[in-house]
Copies of this chain bind each other. A is one copy, B any other.
Amino acid sequence: MAYACLAIDALATLGDPTRRSLFERLAERPAAVGELAAQMPISRPAVSQHLAVLKRAGLVTETAQGTRRIYRVDPRGIGAMRDWLDSHWAQALASFAAFADDQGEEAE
């Protein structure tokens, strides 16, 4: 469970629709800050700040290429979310199945 904090941060980070949009664009192909800002209805500094949050959450990585910074998705963050979800997935199914059984018995 070393990735628990990562999953927490990733969930809160992707809760914002702007960051989710940025993340989905980067999932298709890596891009620089200026390119992303040109396709978004917000200013470049706003995009830069959102990318910094995504980076802190382990969802994207940044590499310098001349004066431009190329951002790409980082499997760590999304992987941590998958682990968190899977651990609750089984529990949710079991809990719901038990409830469905109770309902079935009462209906008879």
Contact = CB atoms under 8 A, between A and B. Distances in A.
A55 interface: no
Contacts of A89: 75, 78-79, 82
Interface of A: 8, 11-17, 20, 23-24, 26-30, 72-75, 78-79, 81-82, 85-86, 88-89, 91-93, 95-96, 99
A75 B93 contact: yes
Contacts of A29: 95
A27 B92 contact: yes
Contact of A11 (B20, B26, B28, B75): B20
B88 A72 contact: no
Contacts of A13: 15
